[in-house]
Structure 1
Amino acid sequence: MSATETSTDRRVFHPATLDLGDVLLRPWGRALDLPGGTVPALTAASADREIARWNPLRAADPAAAEAYLDRCDTGWADGTTAAFAITDAADGTLLGNVALLWTNQADGLATVGYWLLRTARGRGIATRATVAVTRWGVTTADARRIELCHDVDNDASCRVAVRSGFPYEGTLRASYRHVDGDYVDEHLHARLATDPDEG
């Protein structure tokens, strides 16, 4: 690091496409072109019962979906949020989402989250996408610690966290507010840049 470069200068997310073979992680934003349209794909995902339950997507109508894409573009532009659409490499259809965002950029602390459409579940895609984005965040943006939190009742997400190399660290009491207004406990998992690589 040069005398004028700070840790925050290095800790910036730059748009990239991550190729996992049968799956591509592509930056969300206005430029993303999904079969049938990106806005309709987002509104359909927002209506998915499991996504609405565990990780509500604020894209219930076209205006909200467009606002979501604008927020993604802003996150990429300022380097604070890396939101990827998980797409089928063969036909480009939307499978889900994985995102990495800084919670303390100067300290290298980030958090990762994901959701999958019903047709993509049970295939290991969330695990593979989480591992790929974590590696990318460590190697390209100098992430030091990446946290993963999920509702204590979300067993599927807990399995993804463990398989992705994020050990369980504890329970955060009343840490997340559901759309119904109730606060719920979350499991905290985390991974350090110095942890042994997964897979």
Structure 2
Amino acid sequence: MRAPDELPAGPLLLRPWRAGDLDAVWSAMQDPALRAWSATPLDGSRETAEEWLARRLDVDDRPFVPWAVADAADGGLLGSVALHSVDLEQGDAEVGYWTVPAARGRGLAARAVDAAVRWGFAALPVDRVELVHAVDNPASGRVAAKAGFTLEGRLRRSFRYADGVKHDELLWARLADDDAPDLSTRS
């Protein structure tokens, strides 16, 4: 599955990953918060960054649509967003994302998630997208709410994060016919 070449999203540009993103990805993976809440074990090594990026460069035969989230003005890498676990038969997908520390608290993650989800609803036969995060990561809950997702419930001991412990998670979902979120504020 392939994403469009570029997807404008206000001050952001969602674009395909490039081999030249390696240094920025490796730098981002030094962030303890990114490593703690990643679905993929990240040790901060350059080799892990290379493997992570390689999986995003080779997506043709996978139910996975990844984008690099870049600053639309200067092209600097601000994060990642992806539709994954895309199930065309059921019409479902999940969304995952991260941002570099300097991009946090400005509503950029919600804008990137919203853009990816809108693209999924328009380009794929998908009418439900889920966002799941650890209960102990309330920032992701704020992103989900701002991006128009509805909290549906708590999944007990549902996912093992980087600390090796299975954490409870919160399940949010957005349907294709839900109201569009108001992204005009930072909160």
TM-score by length of 2: 0.89
Distance in 1, Cα, partners of 2:58 & 2:76? 24
Amino acid in structure 1 at the alignment position of 2:51? A
Distance in 2, Cα, partners of 1:27 & 1:59? 24
For structure 2, the 5+ residue unaligned runs are 183-187
Distance in 1, Cα, partners of 2:3 & 2:82? 13
Q: Contact 1:100/1:111 (CA < 8 Å) preserved in 2?
A: yes
Q: Contact 1:59/1:68 (CA < 8 Å) preserved in 2?
A: no
Give the aligned partner of residue 154 of structure 2. Answer: 171
Distance in 2, Cα, partners of 1:16 & 1:65? 22
| C-alpha RMSD over aligned residues | 1.8
Cα shift at 1:174: 0.7
Distance in 1, Cα, partners of 2:173 & 2:32? 27
Amino acid in structure 2 at the alignment position of 1:16? D
2:120 is the counterpart of 1:127 = no
Aligned length: 181
Distance in 2, Cα, partners of 1:97 & 1:14? 13
Cα shift at 1:156: 1.1
2:4 is the counterpart of 1:20 = no
Q: Contact 1:42/1:59 (CA < 8 Å) preserved in 2?
A: no
Give the aligned partner of residue 115 of structure 1. Answer: 98
Amino acid in structure 2 at the alignment position of 1:63? E
Structure with the greater alpha carbon radius of gyration: 1
Three-state SS of the structure 1 residue aligned to 2:105 is coil
Distance in 2, Cα, partners of 1:96 & 1:40? 13
- Identity rate of aligned residues, in percent? 43
For structure 1, the 5+ residue unaligned runs are 1-11
Distance in 1, Cα, partners of 2:166 & 2:30? 22
Give the aligned partner of residue 65 of structure 1. Answer: 49
TM-score by length of 1: 0.84
